[in-house]
Chains A and B, each alone.
Chain A
Amino acid sequence: MRDSVLAIVLAQEEEAGNDLIKVVPGLMIWTAVTFLITFYILKKLAFSRIQGLIDRRRDRIKEALDEADNARMEARALLEQHRQLIAEARAQADGVLAEARRQADAQHERVRAEASADLERRLEENQRAIAAENRKLLEQVRREVVELTLLASEKVTGKVLTADDQRRLIDEAVGELDFDQLAKLN
């Protein structure tokens, strides 16, 4: 039974097989015509339009990329500029600080020098005042010594001394006094 079926199918295949591989010029012409019409219409209506759109989008993307590049370069330039500004500001601040320090040091030095000079001046003034006071005291002591000497001499001798006697006695009395000791005692 299977052989019979196979025989029938094979016979049909053989009969129709020629149709399957037969080249039909008319069908080839129809194929070429329909394809060429399809090709022409797609080329005119579809491909050109979508290619134009893709080109436009490519241009837009290129423009956007260029803009992004420019913006990035601009941002970099601004950043560089800001860095420079910050560096300059820092340099200026450092300068101002150094100047302030320098001025403060100078002020400090000047004040110290002035204080020192003032101190020395005061010391000198004090020393001068002390020396003057010493001299005044010595003079006073000398006068009192002379007066006492004269008074003692008049009482001892019982006579009024001449000017020459007074001068001689004064010189002798003063000569015997140690004024340095007196100054030290003061």
Chain B
Amino acid sequence: MSPLILAAEVFEPQHEFRLPAWVDLDLGAVDLSINKAVVYLWVGAAITILLFTWIMRFGLSLRPSRRQTAGEAVYELVYNQMAEGNLPHRKAIGRWFPYVAALFLYIWVLNLIGFIPLPISDEHFHVAGVKLPTWGIYAATANLSVALALALMTFIGTHVEGIRYNGPFKYVKSWIPHGVPKFLIAPIFVLEVISQFMRLISLSVRLFANMLAGHMLILVFIGLIFIFQSVVLAVIAVPVGTIIYLFEVVIVVTIQAFVFALLTAIYVGGAIEPEH
């Protein structure tokens, strides 16, 4: 077998997304084993809680410091751009703003730490006989289950809120546009039910696919150097990989979190007042 084929066999970027159990934990039929994705979720949650509690709670003053200004800017971005514009009234904002804001911040942190090399890996290396985890990049949001779970919470919350505000009959009736001929009501209702589930799929797949694609692109471009063992290729692959990396970190990370939270606010607002 040629060295190139051997290199290709060794380089498996998709293996970065395999999730072998680190600690087996079964709860009946459900496998709650702790793996790399779970650890990333914990790390993301810890960072989100500590960072935003620090900048939004401590040392607050009517004349804000730089830290407080950053906290207020993030808070007001979510409040003004997502909650206030899409949730129909103050009561709905009061109830749903914390959820939308927490969703945005949590996804943003999960996305961001997905591009920072961390020593959370299945693979290890040895330094002076000490076994250490390999540093690598991995995003929990590049896993369909994570994105789907977050989307499912929004999906359930949306419909629960729609039924709570409007009653089940009025809420389901609101899915059918006014003035539709009677013979079209049934097929349109079916289409609307499908579209509601499509929201769940689009919300989760958008986040998952974008994050996965970004990681795969970076891994492939960097991996090409090792597959072909070519310095000349590195001249192209490293800048392109860096550009993709910066694009992901600066733009995609924030946009995906923003879009997810924004759509959540839009869906919930639409469910509370369907005529809007």
Given contacts A25-B30, A25-B31, contact A42 B144 (CB under 8 A): no
Q: Given known contacts A27-B19, A27-B146, A42-B49, is B56 in contact with A9 (CB within 8 Å)?
A: no
Whether A34 contacts B42 by the Cβ 8 Å rule is yes
Looking at A50-58, A71-79, A84-92, A136-144, the stretch in contact with chain B turns out to be A50-58
Say yes or no: is B38 at the interface (Cβ < 8 Å to chain A).
yes
Within 8 A of B (CB), among A1-39: 1, 4-5, 8-9, 12-13, 16-17, 19-32, 34-35, 37-39
Contact of B62 (CB < 8 Å), options: A42, A47, A50, A56? A56
CA distance A76 to B153 in the complex (A): 58
Q: Which residues of A contact B148 (CB under 8 A)?
A: 23, 28
What is the CA–CA distance of A45 and B37 in the complex, to the nearest angstrom?
26
Rounded to whole angstroms, the CA-CA distance of A145 and B72 in the bound complex is: 137
Chain B residues lying within 8 Å of A101, measured Cβ to Cβ, are none
| Inter-chain contact A27/B98, CB cutoff 8 Å | no
Are A30 and B150 CB-contacts (below 8 A) given A38-B48, A39-B99, A42-B49? Answer: no
- Name B98's contact: one of A16, A31, A39, A54 (CB within 8 Å): A39
Cβ of A128: which chain B residues have Cβ within 8 Å of it? none
B106 within 8 A of A: yes
Evaluate contact between A31 and B146: CB separation under 8 angstroms: yes
Whether the pair A50, B56 counts as a contact (CB closer than 8 A) is yes
User: Is A60 part of the contact surface with B, judged by Cβ < 8 Å?
Assistant: yes
> How many A-B pairs fall under 8 Å by CB?
144
Query: Chain B nearest CB: distance from A53 CB in Å?
Result: 5
We find that the number of chain A residues with CB closer than 8 angstroms to chain B is 42
Contact of A31 among B2, B52, B101, B149 (CB under 8 A): B149
Tell me, yes or no, whether B123 is within 8 Å of chain A by CB: no
Q: Are B8 and A42 in contact (CB under 8 A)?
A: no
Decide yes or no: A41 and B75 within 8 Å by CB, A24-B31, A30-B41, A34-B42 being known contacts: no
Q: How distant is A119 from chain B, measured CB to nearest CB, in Å?
A: 89
Whole-angstrom distance from the CB of B63 to the nearest CB of chain A? 9
A152 CA to B26 CA, complexed, in Å:
188
**Does A49 have its Cβ within 8 Å of any Cβ on chain B?**
yes
Q: List 27 A-B contacts (CB under 8 A).
A: A1-B2, A1-B4, A5-B8, A8-B8, A12-B14, A19-B14, A19-B17, A20-B17, A21-B144, A22-B144, A22-B145, A24-B19, A24-B31, A26-B31, A26-B33, A28-B152, A30-B32, A31-B149, A34-B41, A39-B106, A42-B102, A46-B52, A47-B101, A49-B56, A50-B56, A50-B60, A54-B75
